Amino acid sequence: MSDVFELQSALTAAAGASGDEKAERELIARLTAPYCDEQYTDALGSLICHKKGPGKKVMVSGHMDAIGVYVRTIDEKGFIFCDRVGGLAPHTLVSKPVKFTNGTMGVVREVNKLEFWSKGSSEVTYDDIYIDIGTSSREETMKKVNIGDTATVCYPTVKLANNLIGTCYADDLCACIALILSLEDDVQPVNDMYYVFTTQEEVGCRGAQTAALVIGCDYGVAVDVNSAGDCPGQNGKNTLNKVGKGLSLTYRTAAAINDREFLDVLAELCDKNGIPYQTNAIARGGTDAGNMQKVNARTADIAIPTRYIHSAGEVYSADDIIGAAKLVTALSKTAL
Ligand SMILES: [Zn+2]
């Protein structure tokens, strides 16, 4: 079994914002090729890894796109003004290095320091920050970066105590890792299994809908992060989920009311296989499951409890990923 931290580091280095998942797709395709009967890509770029079985068609998704920014304008001096790809709050970007898809590096700064820091975080807009790539004119910048190009945060992945991992892209590369580990189990599935590394989740779960349509899946499972409630500032009103205490089965999100019977099957599989699990129901946010439902799949969510989601220091437990991988493998061997 591959090491979760090593995989998180490698996948984070290849991270691309929604619509720019090519490097990530190529890396994951290479890692999973030995364990698939076939691999293909749909029109939106999702990577579909098929492991053939006689039973129901089951799609398990982990989204491989990341939040980031895209280039809106470039000023005369070559500084770049950007806007969000997905839910990336501009105030979190200041002083962070960013990497464009073609490898060009930059740093993010405030346009007006005094004004920036006197504003509340929710008042800060993308007009208040810019990216400096070291160039000194618009012409010079445009030799390296074009309007519409995307960049992601470039921050190291770190090992914390108790098998926890800190990284800028737990969401949702940790779920991609769970899928990769399950594929590595290399069992002969009873269900017709489609492990799908989806695109464009952060801009409305677009890739999952296309992939589910292409596959025509009977069941859909979205593996994604959810906010853990075990750190300062969390009052326990949203979720009681704790990092390292097991994956979490999600009853509902803002995007999907999941299938009770299917969730019961997953809970039973956890019990049978000694996989620790928690449960949650959330009022805000959604996952790929919502769009899989739209094309007639019975769905469930497997959530990975994660602290500080959509920041450069998201924290999750490698143990929860190993549990999620075990559950996906158990599901592949269970007739639905
Ligand atoms: Zn996500």
Strand order in the sheet with 219-227: 38-41, 47-51, 192-198, 57-63, 219-227, 298-306, 247-250, 277-280
Q: How many angstroms is it from 75 CA to the middle of ligand 1?
A: 33
Q: Are residues 181 and 219 in the same domain?
A: yes
Active site residues: 201
Q: Are residues 58 and 95 in the same domain?
A: no
pLDDT number for residue 223: 98
Last residue of a domain, one of 153, 177, 198: 153
| pTM for the predicted model, two decimal places | 0.97
CATH code for the domain of 227? 3.40.630.10
Q: Are residues 62 and 80 in the same domain?
A: no
pLDDT digit string (tens) for 24-35?
Answer: 999 999 999 999
On average, the pLDDT of the chain sits at 96
pLDDT number for residue 249: 98
pLDDT number for residue 233: 82
Q: Is 18 helix (H, G, I), strand (E, B) or coil?
A: coil
Q: Are residues 180 and 56 in the same domain?
A: yes
Q: How many angstroms is it from 115 CA to the middle of ligand 1?
A: 32
Report percent pLDDT > 70 for the chain.
99
pLDDT number for residue 151: 98
Q: How many angstroms is it from 171 CA to the middle of ligand 1?
A: 5
DSSP state letter for 13: H
Is 162 contained in some domain? no
- How many domains does the structure of the chain reveal? 2
Last residue of a domain, one of 153, 184, 216: 153
Q: How many angstroms is it from 201 CA to the middle of ligand 1?
A: 7
Domain membership of residue 244 as a residue range = 4-66+169-332
Q: Are residues 233 and 87 in the same domain?
A: no
Q: How many angstroms is it from 172 CA to the middle of ligand 1?
A: 5
Q: Are residues 208 and 100 in the same domain?
A: no
Q: How many angstroms is it from 202 CA to the middle of ligand 1?
A: 7
Structure tokens at 200: 């464009």
Nearest of 161, 137, 141 to residue 77 by alpha carbon: 137
CA 179 from chain center: how many Å?
A: 12
Q: Long-range pairs for 28-37 at CB < 8 Å and ≥24 separation?
A: 28/64, 28/176, 28/180, 28/197, 31/2, 31/7, 31/180, 32/180, 32/183, 32/195, 35/183, 35/184, 35/186, 36/183, 36/195
Contact of 318 with 256, CB cutoff 8 Å: no
Q: Which residues of the chain have pLDDT under 70?
A: 236
Is 257 contained in some domain? yes
Is 164 contained in some domain? no
Q: How many angstroms is it from 288 CA to the middle of ligand 1?
A: 8
